[in-house]
Amino acid sequence: MKINRKKMFKFLLFLLAAAGAVIMIFPFVWMVSNALKENVFVIEYPPKLIPDAPSFGNFVRAWTSNKFQLYFVNSAITAVTSTALTVLFSAMTAYSFARFKFRFKEFLFFTILLVLMVPDMITIIPKFQLVKTLGLRDSLWGLIVVYVAGGVSMNTFLLRGFFESLPKELEEAMLIDGGNYLTVFFRMILPLSKPALATVTIFSFMGNWDEFTWALTAIDNPLKRTLPIAIYSFQGQHGTEWGLVFAAMLIALVPIMVVFLSMQKYFVSGLTTGAFKG
Report the 10 Å Cβ neighbour count for 256.
15
**140 neighbors 221 (Cβ within 8 angstroms):** no
123 touches other proteins (CB under 8 A): no
- DSSP letter for each residue of 142-197: HHHHHHHHHHHHHHHHHHHHHHHHS-HHHHHHHHHTT--HHHIIIIIIHHHTHHHH
Q: Which stretch binds other proteins (CB under 8 A): 20-28, 75-83, 126-134, 155-163?
A: 126-134
Binding residue for other proteins, selected from 81, 165, 183, 233, defined by CB under 8 A: 233
Helices (H), 39-122: 57-64, 68-99, 105-116
Is the CB of 65 or the CB of 81 nearer to other proteins? 65
Is the CB of 1 or the CB of 223 nearer to other proteins? 223
Is the CB of 205 or the CB of 214 nearer to other proteins? 214
Closest CA to 32 of 242, 260, 255: 242
CB of 27 to other proteins, least distance (A): 17
Is the CB of 195 or the CB of 228 nearer to other proteins? 228
229 touches other proteins (CB under 8 A): yes
49 DSSP assignment: S
41 DSSP assignment: S
Binding residue for other proteins, selected from 238, 275, 276, 278, defined by CB under 8 A: 238
Which residues are at the interface with other proteins (CB under 8 A)? Answer: 39-45, 65-66, 102-103, 124-125, 128-129, 132-135, 137-138, 216-217, 220-222, 229, 232-239, 241, 244
